[in-house]
Amino acid sequence: MVRPFIYLQEEEKKPAVEDVKKLQSEVIIELSEYLKTFEPETRIEQDRKKAPSKSSIMGPVGKLISSVASGRFENKDAIVGFVVSLHNNQSVSRASPISIGSLRKAVDKLDELHKITPRRYWLRTLREIDYAVFVNGYGQVVQNLSTNQNARSV
């Protein structure tokens, strides 16, 4: 008779879904707050043939998310420095202490989120954050464009 193999597998700790969703929404809020301070050098103007691109709306936040996804940085200060450098190179104005504070909070929460999110759901979680921040940024752009059009017509 052949003895069966016994496999020992370490059980993955499953975080509460509510904790992951709560942290995810906090990251989205902080990154959206940061984006309110980012004004690209090339203005996003109303053009019926062209819609603003995702890259122009997201600014440095898109690079932040792709850098976190790839594991490019391990140090949170390095990530913040990278994004602030991009902000200063791509924006009309320099990054303010308030915007850097929002960015630091978002990076801290992203780190917490990474620690509690199972590995196989991590990229999906980042993608959800990416598009949620994009929708918030797009809403801001549309609101700014409608405000500018109303001001011109008055």
Q: What is the mean pLDDT of each run of 10 residues along the chain (154 residues)?
A: 67 74 95 89 57 83 93 90 93 90 94 91 94 91 72 57
- pLDDT of res. 93: 87
**Is residue 39 classed as helix, strand or coil in its secondary structure?**
coil
Which pLDDT score, from 0 to 100, does residue 40 have? 79
Q: What integer pLDDT is reported at residue 60 of this predicted model?
A: 93
Q: How far apart are CA 80 and CA 69, in angstroms?
A: 15
Cα 109 to chain center, whole Å?
A: 11
Q: What are phi and psi of 39, to 5 degrees?
A: -125, 110
In the chain, beta strands by DSSP E: none
Token pair 């509690």 is at which residue?
116
CA atoms within 13 A on the CB side of 100: 16
Rounded distance, CA 141 to CA 109, Å? 25
Tell me the Cα Rg of the chain: 20
